[in-house]
Structure 1
Amino acid sequence: MRSGSVAEITAVRIVEGRIVELTFADGSIRVVDLAPFLWGPVFEAIAVDDELFAQVAVDSELGTIGWPNGADLDPDVLHGDYEPAQTSEQLPK
């Protein structure tokens, strides 16, 4: 588990599209649409490639989910405890 983390993800399951069900170490389960978080260079391919997105897995070292290309997401944001610094909807058009 990450030092100082409020939330630790222990399981992930794809529901449909870019929506996942996340199980946390505190026993809570969240259904999260990851689409707004999948922007920027490291997430470009994950956002559009279903096969790559399907490779999402729990990274037990970091206590979050990640992909083989090294991309990961903040588990505290996914748990709903914090707002992300910025999402794709907040980018200038």
Structure 2
Amino acid sequence: MHDLLDVTVVKPMQDHWLALSFENGENRLLDVKPLLSKKPFEPLQQWHVFEQAYVFAGTVNWPGNIDIAPETLYERSVAA
């Protein structure tokens, strides 16, 4: 388990991937597709929603009060 790290930059990428930068300087990539079938994340299946990702309060958010916890982002992502 890692210390809780804030996300500082998010960039939506093709095929529902996110490029993430964390406060420790690490750049990581996250495949969001495995989450898209879960109820709160279903709207992200639509590219026009997914591409609106932004950083707020140290994590990735989307319109509609959708977010992913920073520890989940880190643990499920891979080094870029």
Q: Same fold, TM exceeding 0.5?
A: yes
Aligned residue for 1:65? 60
Aligned partners of 1:51, 1:19: CA distance in 2, in Å?
14
Residue ranges of structure 1 left out of the alignment (5+ in a row): 82-93
The two structures, once aligned, show a CA RMSD in angstroms of 1.6
Q: Which has the larger radius of gyration?
A: 1
Q: TM-score w.r.t. structure 2 length?
A: 0.82
Is the strand fraction higher in 1 or 2?
Answer: 2
Aligned residues: 74
Give the AA of the match of 1:28.
E
Q: In the alignment, does 2:17 pair up with 1:7? A: no
Percent identity at matched positions?
28
Aligned partners of 1:72, 1:39: CA distance in 2, in Å?
15
Deviations 1:25-66 (A, max 9, x none): 01001011011122333211212x11011111111x2x1001
Is the helix fraction higher in 1 or 2?
Answer: 2
1:16 to 14, 17, 39: 14
Aligned partners of 2:47, 2:60: CA distance in 1, in Å?
16
Aligned residue for 2:40? 42
